[in-house]
Structure 1
Amino acid sequence: MTATYRNPVLNADWSDPDVIRVGDDFYLTVSTFTKVPGLPILHSRDLVNWTIIGHAVTSGYDDVRPGCGVWAPSLRHHAGRFWIFWGDPDAGICWVSAEDPRGPWTEPHVVKPGLGLIDPCPLWDDDGQAYLVHGWAKSRAGVNNRLTLHRMAPDGSGVLDEGTLVIDADLLPGYRTLEGPKLYKRDGVYWIFAPAGGVEQGWQSVFRAESIFGPYEDRIVLEQGGTEVNGPHQGGWVDTPSGEHWFMHFQDRGPYGRVVHLQPMRWNGGWPVMGANGEPVPGGPVPVPGGEPGAPAVSDDFTGPELGLQWSWQANPDPAWWELRDGRLRLTCVPGPDDLRERPSVLGQRLPGDPCAVTTTLTLEGEGRAGLAVVGFTAASVGLERTADGTVLVCGDGKPVPVEDGRPVTVGARVGDGALVTFLADTGEGLREIGEPFQATQGRWVGAVLGLYAAGSGAGQAIFDSFTVDIER
């Protein structure tokens, strides 16, 4: 029986994916903006079942800066090394490199400094020359909808010229917000795969030329059409060991973020045809038979020497914030903004794209407050707080419920269709709904986050038993 898959193959916020194959192994990375650690590395043997194997960036900003940081990376393998290029719109184009995708990775190197430089992609040509294409962020550079190509030093140390405007989409009828270029060469022809039209309603275009500097001709190769997959675009082209071609791209799903779809790709008349004649498919045969089932981790029993690879902080973490001990996570109730959206010490992970139930058991020792939160443009939480009158269970604007000091309390959330959240708590009579339902919302270029937090003067500590996510599929 032929194994099949259904889209999305990564049903959570894996934004701006890029994918490569090295031998029989596939690797994927995505945008992480200001999350720390950033640039997760995912591995698969069949393009459908993916697991997280590490991160390429381990530091970022010291404060929360929504929408900044790591934008739209490109992943490549060249000269026996893995390379990831990305644009930081406030710093320039950067890269890291490693022999092993699990690390260690080099410290970030800025190959081209400047404002508004985004979405870079390198290409090492057959003659030893290297090139770098990138887009522009209008918010910083004042322009967008165009792609610039540089000659680049083969070792990535810097660009070698002022850049050539190879595609000006202002001159193409109907184009807006051309960005996210991926540069390839096939049978002597240069290709730039690039999305346009914006993340919610956009499409995928490809451009081809006999010379890397153009002129390029364009064609739209994937768009929503009569399907329910809005804005199918921005991703990477990859082949299988047997010679089949595939395209991985995102779909913006609001509070769930940018989920990843897999499209078959064939060639017709010298052009790629994606999906079902240019429209997204709901699924199909697994590209490479025999792969092991797998998915990015969501639950964590806190027994490992480190946090699970699904976790990240909202800014650079201080080692004093957390500790794993005796199969539990201990978060110190540290000072910081009361608004969880602005607090660096929120430990979060992606909100699953399917309905799910989340639970953890929390004990509050000493002064402070702590709990489980859902954070996007808006935020809400359920948890414990030590007051002058003792410990209380709090959820939104609801009436606090007294709890015995030092007593473990199970808290949780049920996330239903449309990312409507109902918080839960067990005060001795089993898990029950508490507070008013909360509509999760997306953040700045990201989906909502499931988070754990502990806040206070530093005199208290929150102890979390295993964090469990049950996903309904």
Structure 2
Amino acid sequence: MKETNLKLKRFSRVQLFLMTVLMTSFSVMSFAADKPNKVKVAKNAPLFSKFVYQGEDEVYKNNPLKANEFYNPILQGCYPDPSITRKGDDYYLVCSSFAMFPGVPIFHSKDLVNWTQIGHVLDRVSQLKVHDCGISAGVYAPQILYNPNNDTFYMITTEFAGGFGNIMVKSKDPLKGWSDPIKLNFDGIDPSIFFDDNGKAYIVHNDAPDKGKELYNGHRVIKVWEYDVEKDQIIPGTSQTIVDGGVDLSKKPIWIEAPHLYKKNGRYYLMCAEGGTGDWHSEVIFVSDSPKGPFKPAPSNPILSQRYLNPKRTNMVDWAGHADLVQTPDGKYYGVFLAVRPNEKKRVNTGRETFILPVDWSGEFPVFENGLVPMEPKLKMPKGVENKTGKDGFFPNGNFTFTDDFLAPKLDYRWIGLRGPREDFIVTSKKGLIINPFAANIKELKPTSTLFYRQQHISFTATATLSYQPQTEKDLAGITCVQGERFNYVFGVTKKDKDFYLLLERTARGKSTIVASTKIDMKTAVQLRVKATGDNYEFSYSANGTDFTNLGGTVSGDILSTDVAGGFTGAMIGLYATSANNAIPE
């Protein structure tokens, strides 16, 4: 897999996945019952007694909110491929999660501004088997949709792991959990379901052209199937291609994907992403008198993109696309979509984030308002809505501080595992969080004993308080900054001979080097800190909680960026422990 300076405008999730699969095993492991395991804690398991994350982005300092404004993106950090639906006054939104566990974070709102995370759709190993896949495999492009015909919510997605493929889960109430997966009998990716007024259902998805008909690299098609709602399966023999290549096949459009069907005024609209997932990303729209086509493209495509704009613009938002629409009870439309905020070196460490814009559908075709001009960091509040982000349990945005002493009876939903359940390695106590170390390190394609928090700002500070005395050089605990198994930093405490050492290790393209190391006294708790100012990262430690000592100087965040590491995830900060350490202090 070519990992150097990937220009993602020429790559789709299909192409990158096919390259990833060369390095990844997809065998199915048998699992025990889907109940949290009782963790037998190792004698030397580390204790994390506090974690503080503070966002420090200049764009929010320079653009304070007025009373009638809110910030965009609405979900900062790695929350890509958003999909949204509504039942009554309740909105629900989901995002891709790849190899993160639990998978498919789900959010609820009453007003499209204030969002609460209510859990994850895929929270059991019977639903999510990503135990041996690369970080950018797993769950792609989920769609959530409420079907008023049977009062049921559907989440449909592609799970590139565990032998699943395209799957669907259902729920009568997203607050009460979701069914086990129903495996769908078709190939391709990015499935999306549509329920017509007459009760009929259809699935659209991305696929390769028929054998022998591929015209160029990136040539894809959109297919539609009729769907049997009672049997929860496609109807064999009903498949047909409704879009070949994209808006204009003569111009060789690439990576038409992420399709969604909508109905307005008796006509059917097909909205898709086109141009790859990088800086040529866009959203396009087609119309037909039938859900099975033929579909004609709008003359004004794309209806959302940032690709034509000045590359030197300030507060850049880029890569906009992969959208979904929702109608409010009063008839107004909004669209959620992914986009990125590159740092000063045009690197993308925060990953693809969830943005929202009002949509003007007063004409024949919908258009994202201000979706083709440089996006602003603030939007006007919908009429009658009060901005409560960061209060009363609502998700924060802008610059904020997240603090966790791990004494709450339930772990915050923002904490996630990688390839396996958090409950397999965490133990809560009156002193904080104990992480039982697995015999797997952060560079392996295995479940790791690491609790992750997404990097949500270009500039931030994250500090963890650690009590730990490793017994051997195979033991290590600390913090890690991870873009993937082949691109990461480890800042942790280990042992060499009879001494404890703190080390900083950099892994780039799978090759690890020790940046710096120092002896450290671990008789009392130590604070480990990572501070990023754009592309510049610094790792430091303190024994007294006040005076911090830098280790390794200033290092580049390049390996934590999507455009360098490839794949689709954003950087994550992990509370990490392992009994299979291979980083040796110098």
Q: TM-score, normalized by length of structure 2?
A: 0.72
Moved more, 10-19 or 301-310: 301-310
> How has the CA–CA distance of structure 1 residues 137 and 410 changed in structure 2, closer, same or farther, with 3 Å as cutoff?
farther
**Corresponding residue number in structure 2 for 1:255:** 349
Amino acid at match of 1:191: Y
- Distance in 1, Cα, partners of 2:81 & 2:424: 33
SS at match of 1:102: helix
Work out whether residues 70 and 387 of structure 2, in 8 Å CA contact, stay in contact via their aligned partners in 1: no
- Distance in 2, Cα, partners of 1:338 & 1:388: 23
Amino acid at match of 2:226: R
What RMSD over aligned residues (CA atoms) do the two structures have, in Å?
2.6
Work out whether residues 438 and 577 of structure 2, in 8 Å CA contact, stay in contact via their aligned partners in 1: yes
Structure 1 residue 309: deviation in Å? 0.4
**Corresponding residue number in structure 2 for 1:465:** none
> How has the CA–CA distance of structure 1 residues 13 and 156 changed in structure 2, closer, same or farther, with 3 Å as cutoff?
farther
Moved over 4 A (4+): 140-144, 340-343
Q: Relative contact order, CA 8 A, sep 6+: which one is greater?
A: 2
Amino acid at match of 1:122: I
Q: Which runs of 5+ in 2 are unaligned?
A: 1-65, 311-315, 342-347, 397-401, 506-513, 582-586
SS at match of 2:74: coil
Structure 1 residue 407: deviation in Å? 2.1
**Corresponding residue number in structure 2 for 1:34:** 99
Amino acid at match of 2:476: R
Structure 1 residue 257: deviation in Å? 0.7
> How has the CA–CA distance of structure 1 residues 338 and 376 changed in structure 2, closer, same or farther, with 3 Å as cutoff?
closer
Structure 1 residue 320: deviation in Å? 4.5
Work out whether residues 101 and 422 of structure 2, in 8 Å CA contact, stay in contact via their aligned partners in 1: no
Q: Does 1:424 align with 2:500?
A: no
- Distance in 2, Cα, partners of 1:168 & 1:202: 18
**Corresponding residue number in structure 2 for 1:464:** none
Alignment of 1:139-178 (within 5 A): 145-155=220-230, 157-162=232-237, 163-169=239-245, 172-174=249-251, 175-178=253-256
**Corresponding residue number in structure 1 for 2:386:** 290
Percentage of matched positions with identical amino acids:
25
**Corresponding residue number in structure 1 for 2:11:** none
Structure 1 residue 338: deviation in Å? 5.9
Alignment of 1:20-419 (within 5 A): 20-58=85-123, 59=125, 60-78=129-147, 79-89=150-160, 91-114=164-187, 117-136=188-207, 145-155=220-230, 157-162=232-237, 163-169=239-245, 172-174=249-251, 175-200=253-278, 201-219=280-298, 220=301, 221-224=303-306, 225-226=308-309, 228-253=316-341, 254-276=348-370, 278-279=372-373, 281-282=375-376, 283-288=378-383, 289-294=385-390, 296=395, 298-317=402-421, 319-337=423-441, 339=443, 344-367=448-471, 368-377=475-484, 378-396=487-505, 397-418=514-535
> How has the CA–CA distance of structure 1 residues 338 and 354 changed in structure 2, closer, same or farther, with 3 Å as cutoff?
closer
> How has the CA–CA distance of structure 1 residues 180 and 157 changed in structure 2, closer, same or farther, with 3 Å as cutoff?
same
**Corresponding residue number in structure 2 for 1:462:** none
> How has the CA–CA distance of structure 1 residues 173 and 416 changed in structure 2, closer, same or farther, with 3 Å as cutoff?
farther
Which structure: greater strand fraction? 1
**Corresponding residue number in structure 2 for 1:471:** none
> How has the CA–CA distance of structure 1 residues 36 and 131 changed in structure 2, closer, same or farther, with 3 Å as cutoff?
same
Deviations 1:29-88 (A, max 9, x none): 011111110011112222223221101102322224232211101111112222110012
Q: Does 1:455 align with 2:571?
A: no
Q: TM-score, normalized by length of structure 1?
A: 0.89
Amino acid at match of 2:202: Y
- Distance in 2, Cα, partners of 1:331 & 1:182: 42
Amino acid at match of 1:123: F
Work out whether residues 94 and 144 of structure 2, in 8 Å CA contact, stay in contact via their aligned partners in 1: yes
- Distance in 2, Cα, partners of 1:31 & 1:277: 22
Amino acid at match of 1:276: N
SS at match of 1:435: strand
Q: Does 1:446 align with 2:446?
A: no
- Distance in 2, Cα, partners of 1:308 & 1:435: 32
Structure 1 residue 96: deviation in Å? 1.1
- Distance in 2, Cα, partners of 1:432 & 1:111: 54
- Distance in 1, Cα, partners of 2:515 & 2:375: 45
Work out whether residues 152 and 159 of structure 1, in 8 Å CA contact, stay in contact via their aligned partners in 2: yes
How many aligned positions are there?
454
Structure 1 residue 155: deviation in Å? 3.5
